[in-house]
Amino acid sequence: MNDRFKDFFEVTGKALKESFAKLNKVYIAFIVILIRAFYQNYRFTGMFSRSMAGGLLNYFIDAAMLCFVAQALRSIIVYGNSGKKSIGNSLSNFLNPILRTVFYTYLLQMMIGTFQSGFSFSLYMLLLVGFEILFSAMLEEVYINGKAGIDAIKSSAKFVCDNIIPYGLFSLIFIIIEVYFSYNFTFQLAFGLEKAAYILLFAIIQLFFYVVRGHMFKYLNDHPYRQRKFMRS
What's the mean pLDDT in 84-102?
95
Confidence grade of residue 67 (pLDDT, cut at 50, 70, 90) = very high
What digits encode the pLDDT tens for the residues 2-17?
788 888 899 999 999 9
Confidence grade of residue 26 (pLDDT, cut at 50, 70, 90) = very high
Q: How far apart are CA 45 and CA 54, in angstroms?
A: 13
- pLDDT above 70 (res 129): yes
- pLDDT above 80 (res 182): no
Q: What is the DSSP string of the chain?
A: -HHHHHHHHHHHHHHHHHHHHTGGG-HHHHHHHHHHHHHHHHHHTTSS--SHHHHHHHHHHHHHHHHHHHHHHHIIIII-S--TTTGGGHHHHHHHHHHHHHHHHHHHHHHHHTTTTTS-HHHHHHHHHHHHHHTTTHHHHHHTT---HHHHHHHHHHHHHHTIIIIIHHHHHHHHHHHHHHHIIIII--SSHHHHHHHHHHHHHHHHHHHHHHHHHHHHHHS-HHHHHHHH-
Mean pLDDT in the chain? Answer: 88
Confidence grade of residue 48 (pLDDT, cut at 50, 70, 90) = very low
Q: What is the DSSP string of 7-63?
A: HHHHHHHHHHHHHHHTGGG-HHHHHHHHHHHHHHHHHHTTSS--SHHHHHHHHHHHH
What's the mean pLDDT in 83-87?
95
What's the mean pLDDT in 94-114?
89
Predicted structure pTM score: 0.89
Residue 63: name the closest of 149, 172, 155 by CA: 149
Among 33-42, 70-79, 184-193, name the one with the lowest average pLDDT.
Answer: 184-193
* pLDDT at 90 (0 to 100): 97
Largest CA distance in the chain: 58
**Between the CA of residue 184 and those of 30, 91, 148, 192, what are the distances in Å?**
21, 31, 33, 13
- pLDDT above 60 (res 47): no
* pLDDT at 183 (0 to 100): 72
What's the mean pLDDT in 155-169?
94
